[in-house]
Structures are given as structure tokens and as C-alpha cells.
A and B are shown apart, each in its own frame.
Chain A
């Protein structure tokens, strides 16, 4: 069964450093998302992406964040200058068609900012 994959599974970085989290969505999916889950808390929406542009972004997704689909398969989340409070699990999700509403999540990347 096709699945969303994410790399790395765990990323440790120093405060102020740039990180890039990578996702490979399911191949025929058209809608892509990033969500964040701080330890023990709920999953929070960050950004949605369709047709090579951002559809919607949350208040969390400030100028330090950016997303890109550099080729036909990868979808990346970049944090330009990490803060301690960026430490969280980051989940990528993809959706085949907007009408289905069914989002499939990857296993996540645990980001630890020291």
C-alpha cells in the first residue's frame, strides 16, 4: 500500500540553524500539508500546498518557514532560523483530491532544537 515517507526520522539542531525536513507524498496525490505536534499536545496545521503554491497557512507558519516542491516527488519544509519552541514532531500529509478530504500522514520527523 502506498504511503507517505519522511526523512530524517529525528533531527537535532542548534538554535538559529536552518533545517530542511523532507517528505515524499503518495505519488498520485495533489494536495500536500505540514502539521506540527508538540510533545503531548494536539496536532496543529501549519500549511497546505497545491499546484505549486501555498493554499493556506496558519499563524504558526511565519516568515521563518517555507515550503517547496523541488521536483515531482519531494515536498520540503524549511525552517530558516530555528528556535527552542520549534522542537516538535513534524508530520507531512497528502491527499489525492480535495473532494475526498482523506489525508494520509507520514511517520513524522522529530525535531529537537538545542
Chain B
């Protein structure tokens, strides 16, 4: 019930391509779904977040798509750049603690 499943585990994308990372959750009480970006040796940094009352949120090249009925949400990175190479974690929360997915290691090649 508390798990957040994330896929793929790793992703290789050409520069300029679209990176798509998917997450699924079980607990319908979750009401906040952030994505965090983590570079090696650093702490997770909030990238973008969504609440279940909207189906999509866009900030620059980053878009979250949210499907409440399917209990799934995804991160789309448009025009992927080598600087986007990092590990991405989805998470879910019902106030208080964050439940993280297992992470996706994204590599963007020039």
C-alpha cells in the first residue's frame, strides 16, 4: 500500500530526445507527487510536483502527466540535454513523509 513503483531502472537518451519515466502507486490517500533529481554525491533536489486535482503540469522542459484512475504518473523531459544526466526519483506523500520510488538513472548522450 505504501510502495511507489518506478520504471525504467535506467534510461539512455540521445541529446534532444524525450526522456519518459513512469511511476505507479497504490495508496489512494496520497495527495502530493513530486519528482526529485539527484546528482552523484548530492542530495535530492525538487524538480517539479503535482497534486491529483490536475492531469498535467509543465515547467520549462519538464512535464508531469498524472492519471488518477490508473494511479500512475510520469515525468517527461523534452529536448533532453547532457546536463540532465542524473538519477530521478518519483515520490508520493499524504502530508508528512515522502515515499520514494526506486529511481531511474538517466544518461543523455550528445
Q: Which residues from chain A sit less than 8 Å from chain B, CB to CB?
A: 4, 31, 33, 35, 41-45, 48, 55-56, 58, 91, 98, 101-108
Contact of A108 with B99 in the complex, beta carbons under 8 Å: no
Q: Which residues from chain B sit less than 8 Å from chain A, CB to CB?
A: 32, 34, 36, 41-46, 49, 89, 93, 95-103
Contact of A101 with B32 in the complex, beta carbons under 8 Å: yes
- Report the bound CA distance from A31 to B89 in whole Å: 21
- Report the bound CA distance from A35 to B36 in whole Å: 14
Which of B41, B42, B46, B102 lies in contact with A103, CB distance below 8 A? B46
Contact of B43 with A42 in the complex, beta carbons under 8 Å: no
Chain A: interface secondary structure?
strand
Supplied contacts A35-B98, A105-B43, A108-B42, 8 more A-B pairs, CB within 8 Å: A43-B89, A43-B98, A43-B100, A48-B96, A98-B96, A101-B34, A103-B98, A105-B36
